[in-house]
Structure 1
Amino acid sequence: MLSLSDIVDARERVAGVARHTPLERSRTFSEMTDANVHLKLETFQRTGAFKIRGAMNRIATLSSAERDAGVVTASAGNHAQGVALAATEAGIDATVVMPRFAPVSKVKATRGYGASVVLHGVDYDEAQAHAHELERDQGRTYVHAFDDPTVMAGQGTIGLEVADDCPDVDTVVVPIGGGGLISGIAVAVKERLGHDVRVVGVQAAGASTAADSLRTGERRTIDSVDTIADGIATRTVGERTLAVMQEYVDEVVVVDDREIALALALLLERSKTLVEGAGAVPLAAVLSEAFEYDPDETIVATLCGGNIDLNRLTTVIRHGLVQMGRYLKVTIDLKDRPGELERVSTIVARAGANVYAVHHDRTSRDVAVNAAELELELETDDAEHAADIVDELEAHGYDVTITT
């Protein structure tokens, strides 16, 4: 079982590479929730995510023979970058297997940190299977992304920083993929501050196995994953991490992609903090009240990384704006006659909406010969404003369909 002394030792090993990241109180999210919300900003970590901690600790413990043979790992992106940088710092050759659909930015960053990248499989699990083949064929040491006590200890150094910077914390909220991060943090905060500190794990709905695994005491595996939180998109938790979570994690909850997108957009707009999907998951759980907490309860949300692909960011922000009521897409049936488009535009303008895009179609199969279909993308103030615009259009006799 992972111990506090393991994590303390890890802090010494990673100190020269990993940063002590900020922990800041958020007035915005505290006011929104009536809790005392703090953000642990691992987005400012080297490589943009927490994974450098565990990777560096594992590589620092390699034998001379293992160092000479090199290392191999599998990752959806953040662990890949952590291993690449840690290996380069130690002068060790590293090969990283990443899913074929891994974000381009993470693939390029991993190569930039000095590792050889092999793209294989549709998700983390298929990439991992191929990495183990390379491990056997090439005699390399496999650096597991989460199911390794040394890796867990490295991630647990975050928990020591939380204990130092926010000793009155009541609840620490941590994302769960394979379970390495929450295992390390849970041991650190509970053994340092006491077992009264609550540790809540959060998974994405499209990659949720931890709650069932903890309830049954056996690892549950799903056939596929589907979530914008690619950093925690694993089919199962680890054997070693499950054992630690059974002893140290108090509760596991689930959030969906809409809630994740909303949290990401709010962090960007209100806290000027860019996170990836996995990084937004803890705050999503707090904002959606996925678990119960008391007024004025001190909560630390662990924002585990900020490595989001720009193409994905555009999509996620748009979904976040939809959840905030700030983006509205509607389809309107028009009579195909002069002045109708201008009439609709006037109604929208008077209602105070800004037009993103307009698509006017007379040829759709679903449109009558004497009609046209108008699609509008609108910038709105909030959900109430969006509803008022729809009501105003309908009051003028238009049949409006909301398509977002």
Structure 2
Amino acid sequence: MNSSLKQTALSGSAPAVDVGDAEYLKRINAARVYDVAIETPLVEAAQLSARIGNRLFLKREDLQPVHSFKLRGAYNKISHLTEEEKARGVICASAGNHAQGVALAGRNLGIRAVIVMPRTTPQIKVSAVAGFGGEIVLHGDGYDEAAAHAAELMERDGLVYIHPYDDPYVIAGQGTIGMEIVRQHPQPIHAVFVCVGGGGMLAGVAAYIKSVRPDIRVIGVEPEDAASMGASLAAGERVALDEVGLFADGVAVKKVGEETFRVCQRHVDAMMTVSIDEMCAAIRDVYEDTRALTEPAGVLAVAGAKKYAAETGIENEDLVAITSGANVNFDRLSYIAERAELGEQREALLAVTMPEKPGSFLQFCRTIGDRSITEFGYRYADDSRAQIFAGIKLTNGIAERDALIDTLQNAGYDVLDMSRNEMAKLHVRHMVGGRAAGAGSEVLFRVEFPERPGALLRFLEAMGDRWNISLFHYRNHGHAHGLVLLGIQVALEDRAACRAALDSIGYDYAEETDNPVYQRFLQAG
């Protein structure tokens, strides 16, 4: 079993049901969700099941009226408010699925629902919330600023705050998913896989399943760059992450809820993480079986089930994965398709040094054999060596990639495997074009820019005219933040000042000057 699963596995069996557990079981059984939510189907993913050697069933929460499970918890919470609280109205801060759930619940119950969303929220989500009757307030560039403003409005107007996950009624509403799974699949289930952000669905599903079917393993799945629940359970206390990745924006939570952590600590069997590429591959897997497009957060459980089956070697078991949402931005699809091949280990990205002479490309193709080349990037640099960026189609995953690298190295090629290098996949594959001979003292950074007017101007004004920008590559992958690769010419003695200037802007960034892909393809000679 891979260490990514073992390190966060929880020891011991599920505890005996106590008063708290009995109360959750009661609340889940009595949850008011079906006024607006549907009992979603549990269907086998036939093609994916055949590939992983187990029967994988998808719990299709993407089919809810708001295309997400969030409706269950939001409606259950709002329906249990007192008449006085309902008359005051409700408020939440959200850029996505929770916002739609609160808006629809408010409309159905005749309650004012104020939704505070960051200004960077994609228009498709703003329009969806408006369509469900939400009173939209756009504020700030991210969730934290929106949440702070929501708190101010709550105090000013006397509104009731609807938390997206850390509330017993919200947890109970999400727990009805576990109730449906048990009823729909009375046969033995080896494990149920649940996506995790703040932990509301994981807590609710685990609380129900462990109360009625403790033999079923409940496994939470998080992105590698937003694994706050796994870190908290491993530490035995809630851990706040400094930063979280934004690709799976629906689960980008720095610190899980207090109540969700308490419940998960008692009932969750294990936590595991998956990469962006594994999420993209799982999106394609679900599409091929169902013709439905899930969002990255919504497919975490499927990616986790695939990885679990491969790491443990289990066969002929029944597995359940909750597809929790389908609110994917259309302009993200090209990015997802691009990464899916890598996630399924069907493509290798390689940097290969070859002689700069006629016939080199022909000899390279002969060396790799009958494999298809998916990408080939090259520009003349000097008379001695050529650096090429090659994408090569694979049919046998990692084993074939390793064998191919050995073959190339044995043929005398200097090879760098870039298949897991984020800078290579996000930027360099789109900009291979030779080195800038005059760009001395260049320092390279990856920067997240808010997708809003004026973001670049604010950046340039903060940096001033002290340093020259020698490289700039922007990449939009359909999120509230665009990804920029930035080269700045900075003398050694000025680098601390340059970092201080970057820090003052407040955009997330990371230095990439030592990245071997940069050194091979872009760094000045």
TM-score of the two chains, using structure 2 as the length reference: 0.66
Does residue 26 of structure 2 align to residue 5 of structure 1? yes
Secondary structure of the structure 2 residue equivalent to 1:173: strand
Counterparts of 2:376 and 2:313, CA distance in 1 = 44
Counterparts of 1:251 and 1:378, CA distance in 2 = 35
Deviation digits for residues 208-227 of structure 1 (CA, Å, limit 9, x no counterpart): 22234334443211122115
Counterparts of 1:47 and 1:117, CA distance in 2 = 17
Bigger drift between 267-276 and 220-229 goes to 267-276
Task: Answer whether contact 1:344 1:393 (CA < 8 A) is retained.
Answer: no
Does residue 216 of structure 2 align to residue 202 of structure 1? no
Bigger drift between 240-249 and 25-34 goes to 25-34
Does residue 167 of structure 2 align to residue 137 of structure 1? no
Aligned position for 1:309: 329
Aligned position for 1:115: 134
Counterparts of 1:209 and 1:240, CA distance in 2 = 14
Does residue 172 of structure 2 align to residue 149 of structure 1? no
Counterparts of 1:386 and 1:31, CA distance in 2 = 23
Task: Answer whether contact 2:351 2:387 (CA < 8 A) is retained.
Answer: yes
Aligned position for 2:382: 368
Equivalent AA in structure 2 for residue 174 of structure 1: V
Aligned position for 1:68: 87
Counterparts of 1:129 and 1:281, CA distance in 2 = 29
Secondary structure of the structure 2 residue equivalent to 1:81: helix
Bigger drift between 106-115 and 196-205 goes to 106-115
Distance 1:101 1:205, change over 3 A: farther
Secondary structure of the structure 2 residue equivalent to 1:88: helix
Aligned position for 1:159: 178
The within-5 A match list for 1:221-236 is: 221-236=240-255
Does residue 54 of structure 2 align to residue 35 of structure 1? yes
Distance 1:335 1:32, change over 3 A: closer
Bigger drift between 119-128 and 169-178 goes to 119-128
Deviation digits for residues 275-322 of structure 1 (CA, Å, limit 9, x no counterpart): 111222112222222875743332211111111222333212211212
Task: Answer whether contact 1:265 1:321 (CA < 8 A) is retained.
Answer: no
Bigger drift between 271-280 and 75-84 goes to 271-280
Equivalent AA in structure 2 for residue 156 of structure 1: G
Aligned position for 1:174: 194
Counterparts of 1:347 and 1:289, CA distance in 2 = 37
Unaligned runs of 5+ in 2: 1-19, 420-525
How far off is 1:78 after superposition? 0.9
Equivalent AA in structure 1 for residue 327 of structure 2: N
The within-5 A match list for 1:337-356 is: 343=362, 351=370, 353=372
How far off is 1:165 after superposition? 0.4
Aligned position for 1:299: 319
How far off is 1:265 after superposition? 2.6
Distance 1:289 1:92, change over 3 A: same
Aligned position for 1:16: 35
Specify which of 264, 275, 280 is matched with residue 261 of structure 1: 280
- Aligned pair count? 395
How far off is 1:161 after superposition? 0.9
Distance 1:55 1:31, change over 3 A: same
Identity %: 36
Deviation digits for residues 320-343 of structure 1 (CA, Å, limit 9, x no counterpart): 2123344455566677788877x5
Task: Answer whether contact 1:83 1:94 (CA < 8 A) is retained.
Answer: yes
How far off is 1:23 after superposition? 0.3
Secondary structure of the structure 2 residue equivalent to 1:167: coil
Distance 1:325 1:212, change over 3 A: closer
Counterparts of 2:295 and 2:233, CA distance in 1 = 26
Counterparts of 1:352 and 1:247, CA distance in 2 = 50
The within-5 A match list for 1:213-252 is: 213-252=232-271
How far off is 1:151 after superposition? 1.0
Distance 1:167 1:224, change over 3 A: same
Distance 1:217 1:331, change over 3 A: closer
Counterparts of 1:83 and 1:50, CA distance in 2 = 12
Counterparts of 2:376 and 2:26, CA distance in 1 = 61
Distance 1:218 1:378, change over 3 A: closer
Counterparts of 2:82 and 2:51, CA distance in 1 = 50
Equivalent AA in structure 2 for residue 361 of structure 1: R
Deviation digits for residues 376-403 of structure 1 (CA, Å, limit 9, x no counterpart): 6566656477789888988998776665
Task: Answer whether contact 2:276 2:343 (CA < 8 A) is retained.
Answer: no
Counterparts of 2:345 and 2:232, CA distance in 1 = 36
Task: Answer whether contact 1:38 1:299 (CA < 8 A) is retained.
Answer: yes
Aligned position for 2:68: 49
Equivalent AA in structure 1 for residue 28 of structure 2: I
Counterparts of 2:111 and 2:124, CA distance in 1 = 23
How far off is 1:118 after superposition? 3.4
Equivalent AA in structure 1 for residue 233 of structure 2: L
Higher relative contact order (CA 8 A, sep 6+): 1
Distance 1:394 1:221, change over 3 A: closer
Bigger drift between 369-378 and 220-229 goes to 369-378
Task: Answer whether contact 1:125 1:234 (CA < 8 A) is retained.
Answer: no
Does residue 40 of structure 2 align to residue 26 of structure 1? no
Secondary structure of the structure 1 residue equivalent to 2:222: strand
Does residue 147 of structure 2 align to residue 128 of structure 1? yes
Specify which of 44, 59, 81 is matched with residue 78 of structure 2: 59
Secondary structure of the structure 1 residue equivalent to 2:115: strand
Specify which of 99, 103, 116 is matched with residue 80 of structure 1: 99
Equivalent AA in structure 1 for residue 27 of structure 2: D
Secondary structure of the structure 1 residue equivalent to 2:315: coil
Aligned position for 2:206: 186
Counterparts of 2:394 and 2:213, CA distance in 1 = 47
How far off is 1:239 after superposition? 1.1
Equivalent AA in structure 2 for residue 4 of structure 1: L
Task: Answer whether contact 1:77 1:103 (CA < 8 A) is retained.
Answer: no
Task: Answer whether contact 1:54 1:151 (CA < 8 A) is retained.
Answer: yes
